[in-house]
Structure formats: structure tokens, C-alpha cells
Amino acid sequence: MRAATLLDAPGALQILELTVDEPRRHEVLIRTVAAGLCHSDYHVMEGRIARPLPTVLGHESAGVVEAIGPDVTSVRVGDHVVCCLSVFCGSCRRCLSGQNWLCDDKAATGRRPDEPPRLSLDGRRVHPFSHVGGFAEYMLVHENATVAVPASLPFDRAALLGCGVITGVGAALNAARVQPGSSAVVVGCGGVGLNVVQGCVLAGAARVVAVDSVAAKLELARAFGATHVVDASAGDPVPPVRDITGGGADYAFEAIGLKSTVEAAFAMLRRGGTAYVIGVLPEGTRIELDGADFLASKGIHGVYMGSNHFKVDLPTYIEWYLQGRLHLDELVSAHLPLEHINEGYAVLARGEVARSVILFDH
Ligand SMILES: NC(=O)c1ccc[n+]([C@@H]2O[C@H](COP(=O)([O-])OP(=O)(O)OC[C@H]3O[C@@H](n4cnc5c(N)ncnc54)[C@H](O)[C@@H]3O)[C@@H](O)[C@H]2O)c1
Ligand SMILES: [Zn+2]
Ligand SMILES: [Zn+2]
């Protein structure tokens, strides 16, 4: 099968012919139909975050179940499914205390060292990024990395649920538990940030301020329900955000992954407010905060994958979409064939799209 593979980092993706194994035990073989281009894959291509190589990137994909291992109970052949990298073992302390997205033993959902790898290139092991490997014609994943979705849901919209939507909406609803009537600011309005905006709107926030350095993103943010926008290319966004929120926001979300914007998000808070860092920062990044702000009861939190229970959350989000309460159509900026994936990432790096989506032609 063809897969967009990263052999060296930094580096570009190469479309290579890989071998995918048959499903064993709890594994599901999925024919990939659509895959979203998330910035996290790009961080790996840039070498900003290190992952074992070679790897098949992609972790925001949807497709059709082609075959299942003998122990699979949650999906059937022919089901339409969305993959989520929040694969969970179901038996570690985190999983058993209801924090599946922080599972401590994801390795238990993978292959044992004595088994052949799921993916290989001329006999050499290839790592599926984040236990998914979504930029490939087939994905071989544990059943706890998938959820069945209605066949009526278009695959390009479905794919985005698995990362951008669940990360953004989940940050507002699950992690921050945004309160009705509150004020929130979202710094960075790409595929993830736009979903934080709509998560805050769904939660009933009174003011939702969108900050981005690309004017088209601010327009999109308004379509997702932002009540105010601040163009970061026009100067320091902190004073205008503090103005709009009457002295600082209750919640600030950083969805870019830069030291400067994390620090800016914290500076946008009112007394007692909390900043949520969604953007991925390279290891070793040091964040500088003013110590006096802790007396003002300000807080800062990392958020991983929107603190999701994707098998419960995604069906809810799909209902909201079908009822017209959750935006998915507006997230899809472009469709690309797999061969154009590097061009797709160049466009993402310039901040020009909400999401580009690869459509596979099998
Ligand atoms: N924590 C998690 O679980 C999780 C999950 C998914 C993605 N992420 C991370 O979230 C971040 C965002 O991902 P994405 O796919 O939405 O990326 P994206 O490239 O689609 O969006 C980034 C946005 O930030 C804007 N931007 C860039 N620099 C800016 C600046 N200095 N000031 C204001 N705006 C600026 C860009 O114009 C763009 O709209 C990435 O770091 C990604 O790795 C984290
Ligand atoms: Zn992602
Ligand atoms: Zn676990």
C-alpha cells in the first residue's frame, strides 16, 4: 500500500510502498478514505518534536473497516470509523479512574516485541505515528483507537473529528469546563483553535475573543461564533484582549505552540483566570511567567487531546453536527490527493487553511 512516510527529520514526506500486516487479536484493518493535515505531524517533519523513524505520519483519519482480529467486539467489517490517537489499554490506573486520554500503558495496545511489525518497508519496521499512521491507504490499529460513525457522515468531515475537533471542543468543554456567561480568548485559530472557539460558544461563554495573525482566520473565527477578533499582526494582542474582556479573560487557550504566545495567553487572564496550553512546544522550552500572578490566583494547564473520551464524545459531536449546532463543513478548506501532501503542509505552515484533507483513491 502507498503511505506518506518520513524517513529523516527534518525532512519531507515520501510516498512509499509499504507492507501492512493482517489484524491480530484486538486489531482492526481500515481502508483509509480521508485524512486531515494537523500541525502536530508537521512538528515531526520539522524535527521540532522527536518521534521514532521511519514513521507513517497522520493521526486524523477516517475510513471503512476491511478486516478485524478475532477478539474485536466494538466494530464490524464495513463499518465507517474515525481513528483517534487516544488509544487506551482499559486496565491501567489512569484508564480505570476515567482518564483514558492519559493512558499509561498504550504499549499494551501495540504489537509484542516477538511479533512482526504492523507496518514494514522492505522488511524494516515502520512506526505508525501516534498508534494510527493515518497518511496511508490502510491503517492497522487497536480497536480502542477507533469509533464507528454513521455511514451518512461525509468522510472528510468525519476525519477531522479525530483530532482537531475533539482537541479543540474538548479543551473548552472537558478540560476548562467553560462556564456560561464567562469570557474566553483563543490564541491561534487554525484547525484546533477554531474548534476551541466553537467549544466556548457551545458552553455559553458571553465573550469569545479570537486572536490570529492571518486576517482570513479571523473571518473564519467569526463564522465559528467568535464575538470579537484581534489581529496579532497589528501589534501586541494582550492590551486589546484585556480591554475587550474588561480587564482579562476567565479562560485563555493557546493553540499555536510558541513560547511567546503561551506567555501572551497567560497575560490575557483576569485575576483567578486559567490558561490552557494546547499547542505543542519542543522539549526544553522554558515558559516565563510573572510570579506575582500566582497571588492573583492565575493558573496554567496543559491539555492533551481535549481530555477526551472519544467513544462517548464523538457520537455527541456528530449529533450536534447533524442538528446544525457544530461546524464541520467550514473546517474543510481543500481536498488533496496523497501525492500533494507536502504542498498541503506548506500551505498549513503559512497559516492559510483551517484544514486540508487528503482523499484516497483506492
Ligand atoms: N495538545 C494536543 O492534544 C494537541 C492536539 C492537536 C494539535 N495540537 C497542537 O496545536 C497547535 C495548533 O494546531 P493546528 O493544527 O490548529 O495548527 P494550524 O497551523 O492549523 O493553526 C495555527 C494558527 O496559528 C496562527 N498563528 C501562528 N503564529 C501566530 C502568532 N504568532 N500569533 C497569532 N497567530 C499565529 C496561524 O495563522 C494559524 O491560524 C499545534 O502546535 C499542534 O501541534 C495539540
Ligand atoms: Zn492532531
Ligand atoms: Zn490505560
Tell me what pLDDT residue 112 has. Answer: 93
Distance, CA 94 to ligand 1 centroid (Å)?
27
286: number of Cβ within 10 Å: 6
What does the alpha-carbon distance between residue 86 and residue 165 come to, in Å, rounded to a whole number? 13
Atom of ligand 1 lying closest to residue 306 CA: 3
Which residues line ion ligand 2, judged by CB < 5 Å?
Answer: 38, 40, 163
CA atoms within 13 A of residue 238's CA, in its CB half-sphere? 12
In this predicted structure, the answer to whether residue 91 has a pLDDT above a threshold of 90 is yes
What does the alpha-carbon distance between residue 359 and residue 344 come to, in Å, rounded to a whole number? 12
What does the alpha-carbon distance between residue 161 and residue 93 come to, in Å, rounded to a whole number? 27
Distance, CA 164 to ligand 2 centroid (Å)?
6
| pLDDT confidence band for 219 (50 / 70 / 90) | very high
What does the alpha-carbon distance between residue 165 and residue 320 come to, in Å, rounded to a whole number? 12
Span 212-238, average pLDDT: 98
pLDDT tens, residue by residue, 95-126: 999 999 999 999 999 999 999 999 999 999 99
In this predicted structure, the answer to whether residue 242 has a pLDDT above a threshold of 90 is yes
Instruction: Judge whether 9 and 53 are in contact, CB under 8 Å.
Output: yes
What does the alpha-carbon distance between residue 61 and residue 224 come to, in Å, rounded to a whole number? 22
173 vs 352: which has the higher pLDDT: 173
Q: How high does pLDDT run on average in the chain?
A: 97
Tell me what pLDDT residue 44 has. Answer: 97
What does the alpha-carbon distance between residue 59 and residue 161 come to, in Å, rounded to a whole number? 11
Whether the link from the prior residue into 10 is cis, omega within 30° of 0, is yes
Beta strands in 232-315 (DSSP E): 249-254, 269-277, 299-302
For residue 131, give every residue at least 6 positions away whose Cβ sits within 8 Å of its Cβ, in sequence order, or none: 85, 87, 106, 109, 110, 141, 142, 145
Tell me what pLDDT residue 307 has. Answer: 98
Helix residue spans in 34-81 (DSSP H): 39-46
pLDDT tens, residue by residue, 301-349: 999 999 999 999 999 999 999 999 999 999 999 999 999 999 999 999 9
- Report the pocket of ligand 1 as residue ranges, CB < 6 Å: 38-40, 43, 163, 167, 188-193, 211-214, 217, 232, 255-258, 261, 278-280, 303-305, 348, 351
Residue with cell 482537531: 164
Burial class of 308 by CB neighbour count within 10 A (0 to 12, 13 to 18, 19+): buried
Q: Among all ligands shown, which has an atom nearest to the Cα of 97?
A: 3
| pLDDT confidence band for 285 (50 / 70 / 90) | very high
Beta bridge partner(s), residue 5: 14, 56
* Residue 44, SS3 per DSSP: helix
Atom of ligand 1 lying closest to residue 348 CA: 19
Among 241, 256, 307, 348, say which to mutate for ligand 1: greatest number of ligand atoms within 8 Å of CB. 256
Distance, CA 234 to ligand 3 centroid (Å)?
45
Instruction: Judge whether 168 and 195 are in contact, CB under 8 Å.
Output: yes
Q: Which helix (H) or strand (E) holds 211?
A: strand 207-212
pLDDT tens, residue by residue, 34-87: 999 999 999 999 999 999 999 999 999 999 999 999 999 999 999 999 999 999
C-alpha of 125 from chain center = 25
Stated pTM of the model: 0.98
What does the alpha-carbon distance between residue 35 and residue 223 come to, in Å, rounded to a whole number? 23
| pLDDT confidence band for 355 (50 / 70 / 90) | very high
| pLDDT confidence band for 362 (50 / 70 / 90) | confident
| pLDDT confidence band for 261 (50 / 70 / 90) | very high
In this predicted structure, the answer to whether residue 300 has a pLDDT above a threshold of 90 is yes
